[in-house]
Structure 1
Amino acid sequence: MSKQIDWANSAAPHMRLRLEFGLFFIAVPVLIAVFFPPNWMFPSLFGFTGLGIVLLHFTPGFAWAELRYNWRNWSWGEVAVFAVAMTLFCSALVMATRPDAAFFLLRNRPEFLIVIWTFYPVVSALPQELLFRVLFCRRYHAILPDGRAFYLLNASLFSLAHLMYWSWIVAIMTFGGGLLFTWAYRKRGSFFYAVLLHAIAGNIIFAAGLGIYFYSGNVQRPF
């Protein structure tokens, strides 16, 4: 009986974590995508982000100071290769899928593109990395799989969080981004590097014209 009680006591926290994990990373993104109108999406995301930051703050053993650990554990060569590869990929993709939108902001609204480049790293990339890398890894590590399954799960949920756009292009790009950003955070041990790569990717996406897929006013639900 004592063994059963011990097992129950040890299993209960994991059950609570699984429930919280499922609600936060699966249920909430699906509810936002399915039931919320497009003009509610960004306010909903800000609320989602705020909740995640609160959860992270109260995660046992977490300290905000650890975000600066290994912040320079990367090379400019890696960044340059990534930026070039991302530019070539996005350019080819926008020309193949939406040539009318190719480099639209760069050609017609460069001042607005500069605003995006300025604020996207702080307003979008950084909060997303807090939730999908730091919160994901630090708060829920006890219930997560190891190895390749960990990366696939993280990338899948990162992609699911963008379901609101109802775009296979967004789904594929965010899945690939999830794999890369998680690698930067875990293998390099650098939150800053994950944010940097995310910011570069996002800014290139908007410069190339693929931001049209990430614009809530352009959302067309399949139902």
Structure 2
Amino acid sequence: MKTMRWAELILMFVGVPFVLAVFLPPRALYPVLGTGAVVGIILLHFTAGFRWRDLIGPVRFLETLALGVVTFVSATALCWVILPERLWYILIHAPQIMIGIAILYPLIQVIPQELVYRALFFERYGHLFASQRQAIFVNAVLFSFGHLMYWHPVVWIATFIGSFLFSHAYFRPRGFLQACALHSIAGVAIFASGLGWLFYSGGNVAQ
């Protein structure tokens, strides 16, 4: 059983992102990630001891807002340095798109990612690690690696740091929704700053 779980983990969290980044075209991004999310949710459903109702919990609005402000300010400063032509671009030139991102990003991107990278990872594979701290660190590495296809160190570093925040939120009692809230507001803030261009497959500046 343990060997099978390791095989699942490596295939889901290493194999799929590697193939997507190295061998598949950018247009394959969402079909592959969507399929992976569906497979992950099915695995989660059949994980012993997991209950969907345990995902329902409180959202800490002040903590979430604070992360949004810090992320927006930090991302704005970084965007001004490395992508000045994109600074606040969507906010200024396409506010309707920004509204769409704020609504759809949590539903289409965040919830599936959190189900796979937090709920599935820790509930199904957490026992493979010696401690919670080790599991959180490996999770951060894999969450960063899951963004390999963007081929930019800023994306990898940001997702590595974000994973620590989201994972610690998840480990609070019934913390899944708080992890989703933090992930959502951080992502929306990054897109609002203009730095989100790096997180969009069409904006891969490394290619």
Q: Normalised by the shorter chain, which TM-score bucket?
A: over 0.9
Cα distance in 2, alignment partners of residues 218 and 102 from structure 1: 14
What is the correspondence of 1:117-156 to structure 2 with a 5 Å cutoff? 117-156=102-141
Q: How big is each residue's C-alpha offset from its partner over 1:157-198, in whole Å with a ceiling of 9 and x where there is no partner?
A: 000000010010100000001000001001354100000000
Q: How big is each residue's C-alpha offset from its partner over 1:83-140, in whole Å with a ceiling of 9 and x where there is no partner?
A: 2211111111111110100010000000111111110011111111000100001111
Note if 1:42 corresponds to 2:30: yes
Note if 1:22 corresponds to 2:7: no
1:165 aligned partner? 150
1:198 aligned partner? 183
Once the two structures are TM-superposed, the CA of residue 34 in structure 1 deviates from its matched residue by 0.6
Cα distance in 2, alignment partners of residues 64 and 24 from structure 1: 21
Q: State the TM-score, normalized to the length of structure 1.
A: 0.88
Note if 1:97 corresponds to 2:85: no
Cα distance in 2, alignment partners of residues 145 and 31 from structure 1: 29
Q: State the TM-score, normalized to the length of structure 2.
A: 0.95
Please say which structure displays the higher CA radius of gyration: 1
Check whether the contact 1:181–1:198 (CA below 8 A) recurs between aligned residues: yes
Cα distance in 1, alignment partners of residues 130 and 190 from structure 2: 31
Once the two structures are TM-superposed, the CA of residue 80 in structure 1 deviates from its matched residue by 2.8
Give the CA RMSD over aligned residues: 1.4
Check whether the contact 1:14–1:142 (CA below 8 A) recurs between aligned residues: no
Once the two structures are TM-superposed, the CA of residue 67 in structure 1 deviates from its matched residue by 0.9
1:213 aligned partner? 198
Cα distance in 2, alignment partners of residues 122 and 77 from structure 1: 21
Once the two structures are TM-superposed, the CA of residue 76 in structure 1 deviates from its matched residue by 3.1
Q: Which moved more, 1:211-220 or 1:108-117?
A: 211-220
Corresponding pairs, count: 207
2:20 aligned partner? 32
Cα distance in 1, alignment partners of residues 205 and 49 from structure 2: 42
For structure 1, the 5+ residue unaligned runs are 1-12
Check whether the contact 1:39–1:217 (CA below 8 A) recurs between aligned residues: no
Letter in 1 for 2:196: G
Percent identity for Structure 1 against Structure 2: 39
Cα distance in 1, alignment partners of residues 110 and 183 from structure 2: 6
Letter in 1 for 2:39: L
